[in-house]
Amino acid sequence: MTYRTAVGALALIVGHGAVAAETHGTHEHGHAVLKLVQEGAEVVVHFQSPLDSIVGFEHEPENDEQRTALDEAMRTVQVAENIVRLPAVCTLDGEPEVNVPYLGDNDGDDHDKADEHSDTAHAEHESTEDGHDHDTDEHADVHADLEAAFKYRCEDGIEWLEATALATFGGLEEVELQAVGSDATVVETLTPASPRAALTGF
């Protein structure tokens, strides 16, 4: 079972059902979601953000600069503290699982998360009725999410969580925290000015 799958599975185990419903749309630029699920000493954290908020675009890379940006994003999100910080009682347990769209060496799933909602394929942009292509809209309906998941062992209560991704990525304006523990649930919106949440009851 992957860490990302464990987020949903552990939520069921602890009796809270699915992790708290997201209050924003599933894909909103500038908005990321951070999910934490605790069962005993085991904690799984899952981070999901529109790729645009991380590297400035969501379509397939078109030049070396964009390919380099994706490579740098991969290296950055593989370091847990660039995404989230937990108290010292929590230690990483195993390697992170990371998915950066359009990279073939992702950990976990190899398929990208790009989701094209247009009626035509991205590679075959249709002309308008007057015969002119709308090149400026070529990537308008392409959506892709970056994901990272981390597993921790926490030998004592988790008093707080800090969404360090807000400092790491300038394109993020807020992170929606959804935390589920054995006896508590926390849903809170974190911002660059207030990136830390108290996890009372965890």
| 7 has pLDDT over 60 | no
| 194 has pLDDT over 80 | yes
| 197 has pLDDT over 70 | yes
What's the pLDDT at 126?
41
Q: What is the mean pLDDT of the chain?
A: 79
pLDDT (mean) for 115-138: 42
The pLDDT-based confidence of 124 (bands split at 50, 70, 90) is: very low
Q: Strand, helix or coil at 51?
A: helix
pLDDT (mean) for 171-187: 94
The pLDDT-based confidence of 183 (bands split at 50, 70, 90) is: confident
pLDDT (mean) for 137-155: 84
Whether 165 contacts 98, CB under 8 Å = no
Q: What b/e string do you get for 134-156 counting C-beta neighbours within 10 Å, with b at 16 or more?
A: eeeeebeebbbbbbbbbbbebee
What's the pLDDT at 52?
96
Nearest by Cα to 177 from 15, 7, 17, 56: 7
